[in-house]
Amino acid sequence: MELTAEILISGEAVSAPCLALTAPISFWGGVDPKTGLIIDARHPQRGASIAGTVLALPGTIGSSSASAVLLELVHAGKAPAAILMDAPDAILLLGIIVAREMGWQAPPALRLPAERQQALAGRRLTLSASGTITIN
């Protein structure tokens, strides 16, 4: 099965398991930038690691620090392999752009409606550079 996602920030092809969150998250205070673990005590996926996953975000809870947390995740090697977003979050995407400007390997970001993300939970996905998502 294949899906097509809109490319928000392009990148190389990625293959990784999908962590599809069931609730929006704030990266600031919600994700430990040193470990990649979800630390928000109220989040349904608390304790899950976003490191190396295709992270499907049904939404984000705004924080102007989200880009800094994502930048720290990239620097620590704990960033997602790719990010699927229901709607673009300019602050979070800024973290990817800054990481690349610093010469670090940062994940691509794509737009996929939240209602399509949950079917991907726990599946291994391959994302092409052109935005095709293959469910393995």
> Which amino acid is residue 75, in one-letter code?
H
Count CB-CB contacts under 10 A for residue 90: 10
**β-pairing verdict for 109-111 and 124-127:** unpaired
Q: Which residues contact 37 (CB under 8 A, 6 or more apart)?
A: 31, 47, 48, 49, 50
Q: Which residues are catalytic?
A: 63
